[in-house]
Structure 1
Amino acid sequence: MIELLLLLITAHVIADFYLQPASWVSCRNSKHLKSPALKKHLLVHATLYSLVFITCQTSIFAAIIAVIVLTLTHGIIDLWKSYRPNNLTYFVIDQLLHLLIILSVWIAIAQISWQSIQDALILIAQPQNVIIALAYVLVCKPASVIIALALQKYTRALSQENSNSAHATDNMGLVSAGAMIGYIERCLAITFIFVGQFAGIGFLVATKTIFRFGDLTKNKDMKLTEYMMLGTLLSYAIALVIGWNAIDLYQQLS
């Protein structure tokens, strides 16, 4: 019955992202419950879900109940989201709620026992999987805190110089963008380590250097150059240490 779950998720993705024009989203966010676009969107979902259950040859009664539950809950979640700010946090919450409902309906139809769910959770929580997950967690927030503390005195010095400069606004980047770049580059770095593609790390370093080279050349600021180099080297050093140790522990436990 895993095919049913995969098909339901596929139907949700198609209906939510490929068959929902931006105008429907705008209409829903402005008119909420009175939005005709919301009704059209729910009709699309109901149609695709019905096709899924027909394909999987589910009993008619179970299919009807499942389509009603999936469609109504989807409408309730979308209506709730229409009153919330249009940002990444609420988008993720919205999609997680949709997937949770789909998973619950699938468990009910497939008659998955509680023991089977426990077995699946135990399998997911194997030490090897926990090590990999922990590696990603460590290279994000803890690593960024370590880098920030290590570069603290240099950050203060550069901030002071920028505040006294007439061109301070020209040297300012997006707020928190540096932290996000760090998260992504370190996650990509340990991913390349886990799959054994070490050349990918060199590609990341080269790509970042190319994009930074123009800014550093334009500013002709040796202090800024050294600061960026320190930050980059620390970021990749942390990713490499965590990645290599995670792989070593993974292999020992396998």
Structure 2
Amino acid sequence: MTEQAITTALACLLAHLLADFVFQTNAMVTAKRKPQVLLLHGVIVFTLTALALGGSLIPAALLALAHVAIDAAKTYAVPEQHRERLWPYLTDQAAHLVTITLLAFYAPEAFASGIWAAHSTTLIPPALFLAGLITATLAGGPAVGGLMLPHKAQAQPDGLDNAGRIIGLLERALIFLMVMIGEPAGIGFLIAAKSILRFDTVKKNQKISEYVIIGTLASFGWALIAAFATKAAMNSH
């Protein structure tokens, strides 16, 4: 893949992450069977992709159409009770990545012909960082949640509503930042702190203990992979 194609793919990837994990609310996800909600999501994808590419409208439109088609397939083909599990989520995201890659090969000059091309050297590092941060934090939530969903009913610890989700976001953000600043040793202190805070809860129930351990390892693992991949990409730029 040429440097132009890689830059185009990065712009489209950032737009995709923003559209799926920042500008798509839980209410939109729940109501996506409604055509107007699916269309609204497609408009958001098109707008963000066009902005990221610096005004290349045709590639943005093609990617938005592909995005809507993939989301429609997931929404209408996967039974509702399985839609939040890990495999539909990973399959959906993999399909989006494939379409971004294909677009980068089809129109590698999409970013280079846009208004941001002259500033690419300045824009690429923060774009990589932001894409990595979203991947590590917001994109990791559905992955970990989907992995743990089959065990949630029988081993969900009592606590505040959405507390687990917020804790997961914060811990993945901290892991990402520690890796990016070159202090991965600090992750050990994070593990120790979480173990101490959860000790009284997990020691009373083996199922809850195993649930917390699996969820924590999955969350940490996801964040570490995203962080080291982002750092490698930034170092190679």
**TM-score, with length taken from structure 1:** 0.45
Q: Which has the larger Rg?
A: 1
Higher helix share: 1
**TM-score, with length taken from structure 2:** 0.48
